[in-house]
Structure 1
Amino acid sequence: MKNFKKQFPLLKQYTYLNTAASGLLSEDLLEFRQDHDLDFLISGSILKENQGALLSDVRKAVGKFFHCPPNQIALTSNFSYGFNVLLEGVEPGKKFLLLENDYPSINHAVEARDFKTCYAKIDENLEENIAEVVKREKPDLFAFSLVQWINGIKIDLDFLKNLKQDHPEMLIIADGTQYCGTEEFKFDASGIDVLGSSTYKWMNAGYGNAFFLFKESVAGRIHPKYAGFGSLQGKYKAEEGIFIGRFEPGHLDTFNFGSLLTAINLIKKIGLKEIERAVKTISAEAREAFEKENLLEPEVSKRKDHSSLFNIKGDDALFQHLRNNNIICSQRGTGIRVSFHYFNTSEDLNTLIKAINSFKK
């Protein structure tokens, strides 16, 4: 295993198992941000005169990373903003399929509007539950997280591809915030029509930047109402009414989106395949250790595949004990959420297990 920790100084002080809450600032990202603001300090609007080229590079980098044409990518400040813009373009009265207890930015945003809703249960039979509700309720749209924020249950991407083939008329809208950056993903070959993601978690790009990927057919079915000067600015938005321009009515910050470009370049430097291998390795080790200690709920233990995000059994006292031992994690649902990224090691996992066992004594 390569020493990935050098990029993230915080790891010298803490056992950081909290990427699912907030990704870390890397040395490369800090260097970009310092240089960017120094340039802004001494050049002012001259820096902004070149922002079109930078944003074009960001769009191209995102497109290459996720296998999506740049002219089908919208840049937004976060997932929630982009998703709400999208929902404003959906005809009232349409029926949405949601997952029970999915991330509030998805469910609450849909439920706050004049849509019909139906729900599938999140458990070890997630895919079967979805297929059953789709067959019975015939929803127009299905919106969900690729990885569940509380327990880390990860939907089967092959299932989504088959679901789309069986129900081509249903729009499939996915939140990749707890997924993007953990493994290779080819949007163009997937069953997903819209993929949105904030990038401050697993891509370690900081706050204030996100992206939405669209299949070409989406523009004819969703009609967002937002518009502004930014809707017409940029290489891929030369004409009024361009679909992605509806998601970008105002200025896009070169600081934040330059951070996204820097984060993608760091991932490329490390190697996405290497990151994927590291994430899957530590995830498998963690799952085995947690099952041995009886720390997982049955719906997770019974799944064939899982993410690197886990909810382990534990109360306030255990959470505080872990924090006192410099182990950073989060309280979510009825337990404690721990998440492992490519820079986490077996040593980090052992530190966690030892702290849990010492608490039991």
Structure 2
Amino acid sequence: MKKLRKPFPVLQQYTYLNTAASGLLSEKVMEFRQDHDLDFLISGSILKDKQGELLTGVRETVGEFFKCAPNRVALTPNFSYGFNTFLEGLNKSKKVLLLSGDYPSITWAVSSREFEICYAEIDENLEQHIAASMEKEHPDVFAFSIVQYISGIKLSIDFLKNLKQKFPETLFVADGTQYCGTEIFDFDDSGLDVLICSTYKWLNAGYGNAFILFNESVQGKIAPKAVGFNSLQGKYKAHEGNFIGKFEPGHLDTLSFGSLKTALGLLKDVGMELVQERIATLSKRAKQEFLAMELLGDMVVKRDQHSSIFNIKGDTQLYNFLKSENIICSQRGDGIRIAFHYFNTEEELDYLLKTLREYEKT
């Protein structure tokens, strides 16, 4: 366990249960960033000449990690940039299905345009609501988070895959920001058409980098308008009008994207089987303990499957008490959001529970 925690110095100071807000910087990523900027300092444009090779390596690493051919991987600064570029490529007559209360970067981006919008409610029966909305509305696009950022409610990939088979003409566009890095994920086998992910959370890759994965069939269904000289640069963007190039019109930051490649390398070294197992084990026990303490809302209590994000009942006073005990978490919605990653421990969960019980006595 010490080996898993050693790359993240923050864990020596705090009980860090806040990956859902921001992932940690690892020593491995920091070392890459220091070396990169030193190279830039002493070599200037010579480093830029290597940009294509580095970014090609990033694209290939992302594709290998998430099972998507590298010529269907686009690199983008963040989720919102990629999602807005996608939406600009859609005809404004399209109907879009959203989840009510989903992440604002999804709902605001869609509602700020002229699309017809329909909604499915987020509660313990989320899947039934989605299926019913699909049957009734027959949307052209279904845009959603795989894991909800406030409640931690999670849609299973099997559910999404089966739903896609029933509605093959609907474009399934997923936000993987609160999902990717928590379990093994095979994009090409998921049924999703597009997945966009900012990587500063569960992938621990820092800020300024994200990626988009595309199904082969998407290219003929949207027409992105963004274009720039960088749209034609690189091994996988060699011809004019290249699809992924429309999502990469300007120069990409080799510091940020090199950080992503390095962070994925660390996860590969740890092993996603171990990551998935540790997160699942911690989350299962945490849910049982939170249930016993009556800290969870009904819509989470009544669901069998859940992510590693929990929103427990609590106010600002409790939040400040947890902070005073060096427990790092976030206030979200009406409660306090707790999130467990693979480097968290049973002992940290015990400490959280002990602290919560002490607060109850005050």
> What is the TM-score when the length of structure 1 is the normalising length?
0.99
Residue 182 of structure 1 corresponds to 182
Distance 2:280 2:165 in 1: 28
Once residues 138 and 275 of structure 2 are traced to their aligned partners in structure 1, the CA distance between those partners, rounded to angstroms, is 38
1:3 CA displacement: 3.7
2:339 is matched with 339
Q: Which position in structure 2 is the counterpart of 1:75?
A: 75
Shift of 1:138: 1.0
The SS at the match of 2:98 is strand
2:106 matched residue in structure 1:
106
User: Which moved further from structure 2: 202-211 or 157-166?
Assistant: 157-166
Distance 2:337 2:223 in 1: 38
Q: Which residue of 1 aligns with 2:11?
A: 11
Distance 1:192 1:231 in 2: 24
Partner Cα distance (1:3, 1:343) in 2? 9
SS in 1 for 2:307: coil
What amino acid is the match of 1:329? C
Unmatched runs of 5 consecutive residues or more in structure 1: none
Cα displacement (A) at 1:167: 0.6
Q: Which amino acid aligns with 1:158?
A: D
Q: After the TM superposition, which residues 34-183 of structure 1 pair with which residues of structure 2 at under 5 Å, given as runs? A: 34-183=34-183
What do residues 46-80 of structure 1 show as CA deviations (whole Å, max 9, x unaligned)?
01101101100100000000100000110000000
Aligned equivalents of 1:334 and 1:250: distance in 2? 40
**Aligned counterpart, 1:307:** 307
Q: CA deviation at 1:214?
A: 0.3
Cα drift, residue 358 of structure 1: 0.9
Cα distance in structure 1, aligned partners of 2:351 and 2:276: 23
Report the alpha carbon displacement of residue 122 of structure 1 after superposing the two structures with TM.
0.7
Shift of 1:2: 5.5
1:356 counterpart = 2:356:
yes
Gaps of 5+ in 2: none
Aligned partner letter, 2:334: T
Q: Deviations over 1:234-267 (max 9, x none)?
A: 1111111111000000001110000000001000
How far apart, in 2, do the equivalents of 1:17 and 1:3 lie? 19
RMSD: 0.7
Aligned-residue offset at 1:4: 1.4
CA distance in 2, matches of 1:153, 1:40: 43
Kept in 2: contact 1:127–1:156 (CA 8 A): no
Query: 2 CA distance for matches of 1:63 and 1:5?
Result: 26
Q: CA deviation at 1:157?
A: 1.2
Distance 1:271 1:155 in 2: 23
Q: What is the SS of the residue equivalent to 1:268?
A: helix
Match of 2:225 in 1: 225
Q: Structure 2 CA distance, aligned partners of 1:333 and 1:89?
A: 32
Structure 1 partner of 2:22: 22
AA at the equivalent of 2:303: R
For 2:32 and 2:122, locate their aligned partners in 1 and report how far apart those are by CA, in whole Å: 40
The SS at the match of 1:222 is coil
How many corresponding residue pairs? 361
Q: Structure 2 CA distance, aligned partners of 1:177 and 1:273?
A: 19
